[in-house]
Amino acid sequence: MEIKTRLGDTFWYYSQLFMIPLQLIIDSNPSVNPNNIAKGQSVDIPGFMIKNIEIKKGDTLWKIAGARNISVDSILLLNQYINPNQIQIGDSIDVPERIITKLVDGKKRYDYYQLQEDIKTLQAMYPFIKINRIGKSVDGKEIQEIRLGRGSKKVHFNASFHANEWITTPILMSYLNDYLLSLTNAAAIKGVKTLPLYQTVDLSIVPMVNPDGVDLVLKGPPEREKENVLKINEGSTDFTAWKANIRGVDLNNQFPAKWEVEKERKIPKSPAPRDYPGEAPLTEPEAKIMAQLAEKENFHRMFAFHTQGKEFYWGYEGMEPPESQAIANELARVSGYEAIQYVDSYAGYKDWFINEFKKPGFTIELGKGINPIPLSQSDEIYRDVLGIFLAGLYM
C-alpha cells in the first residue's frame, strides 16, 4: 500500500499506526531516508492494500475505522484533503485493509505464468522482498530468486529441478506466503515467532529451477520445440513422465560430484525425458545458474524440494559437516519424514553443494506415490513439510 507522507511523519509513527514492524517498513522503502522524510514522499506500507468504499447513511470515519479495526488517522492519511466532519453520503474514500489471507493458491496446477503472477502480487504487497533475475532457461524464461531477511545466516530453498515434480513450486510459494503473513501480522507459525528469524536469516528462494520443463508437462510443447521434444519422447504427446529440461537433460544429474559415475551407468546415452546427465557437467543454462548462485552467495545451508518418498537425503561421501546430523534429526522430528544419510546417487545439486562447500545440504522428497504427485496430496504435503521449512530457518 502506497501512501503520501505528511509533514512530521516518521517511519516509527507508521509502524505504530499500522502495527507493522519498523524494520519491515524501512526495508520496504530503501530509497527513503528514514531520518529525513520530506512531505509528499511516496512510502510503501507492507501487508496492506487500499480499498475504496462509498459512504452510506449513518457512516462516520470513526464508525468505519471501528468496524475495520483501524485508526481514523490511518484513513485520513489516505484521504488528506477531506474534512472528517463533513463527509457526505455517496462520497468515495480510500481505507487501508490489512492482508490476513493467502495470496498464493498452492493447490492448483502451477505453471511458469502463475508463478510470475504470484511473484508480482507478493512483491507489490510485501515490498521488503527483493526479486533477483539470476539467468534464463533454454527457452529464455527468467529464472528468479526471491530474497528477504536481514540476517547473516544464508539459507537457500529451491523447487522444480524436475519438470513433473512441479507441485514443489506451489508448496514452496505457500510457505513463503505464510512467512510474509506471519511477519506483517505478528502471528507465529506452529508456535515459531518469525520476526526474529527475519532479523537473523537471509532467505533465498528459487521457486522454479526448470520453467521450460514444468510448462512442457502442464501445457505441452511450444511450437518451436515441438518436433525436438516429440522425438525425445518417442512420438508421444503425453509428457507427464518428463523430468528433464526442454533439451532432454536431467538438471539434477548435471553437477560435478561424481558426474562421470552417473554418466557411465545411466541408461539414456542421449537426450531423454529423464535421467540423461548430458555430455558434460553444467552444460545446461539452468544448472549453471544454480551453481553460480551458490558460488556467489556461499549459502550456509541448502534445501532442494523434490518428489516423492516422504524421506530426505542429507549426506554425501562423508563430506557433510557434523551440524548436518542435528539438522536432519530436527527435520525428521517435525515432519515424520525418514532421514537417509547416504543414497547410491551422484551428480545432484545436494551432492555438489556438500562436496563443494562442506555445508549442510538436503534433498527433500515430498509426498509419496508416482510422479507427478496429484494435487490431492497438497494439504498433507503442506502440513508435513511446513516444519521442515521453519526448521531450515531456526536451526
pLDDT tier at 143, thresholds 50, 70, 90? very high
- Structure confidence at residue 267 (pLDDT): 87
2-98 and 112-213+280-394, same CATH topology: no
Helix (H, G, I), strand (E, B) or coil at 4: strand
User: How much is the pLDDT for 328?
Assistant: 98
Catalytic residue among 112, 313, 365, 382: 365
* Mean pLDDT of the residues in the chain: 97
**Per DSSP, what are the bridge partners of residue 313?**
340, 363
pLDDT at 330 over 90: yes
Q: Are 176 and 123 in contact (CB under 8 A)?
A: no
Task: Give 305-323 pLDDT, tens digit per residue.
Answer: 999 999 999 999 999 999 9
264 assigned to active site: no
pLDDT value at 385 more than 90: yes
Q: Pairing relation of β-strands 311-313 and 130-136? A: unpaired
The answer to whether the Cα torsion of 83, 87, 90, 93 is positive or negative is: positive
Fold (topology level) of 2-98: Membrane-bound Lytic Murein Transglycosylase D; Chain A (3.10.350)
The DSSP string of 196-226 is HHHHHEEEEEES-S-HHHHHHHHH---GGGH
pLDDT of amino acid 44: 98
For residue 300 the three cell numbers come to 550456509
Alpha-carbon gap, residue 394 to 313, rounded angstroms? 19
* Other Cβ atoms closer than 10 A to 1: 23
pLDDT in the model for residue 37: 93
- Say if residue 261's pLDDT is above 90: yes
Residue that the C-alpha cell 518436433 belongs to: 227
- Structural domain boundaries in the chain: 2-98, 112-213+280-394
pTM of the model: 0.96
Say if strands 153-159 and 201-206 run parallel, antiparallel, or are unpaired: parallel
Residue 378: pLDDT over 90? yes
Per the annotation, the verdict on 365 as an active-site residue is yes
H or E segment to which residue 50 belongs? strand 48-54
pLDDT band at 247 (very low <50, low <70, confident <90, very high): very high
Which of the following is catalytic: 110, 198, 316, 346? 346
DSSP reduced 3-state for 379: helix
Predicted local distance difference test score (pLDDT) of residue 266: 81
Q: Is the pLDDT of residue 288 over 90?
A: yes
From start to end of 162-300, where are the E strands?
Answer: 201-206
- What confidence score (pLDDT) does residue 246 get? 98
Domain formed by 112-213+280-394, architecture? 3-Layer(aba) Sandwich (3.40)
pLDDT of 4: 96
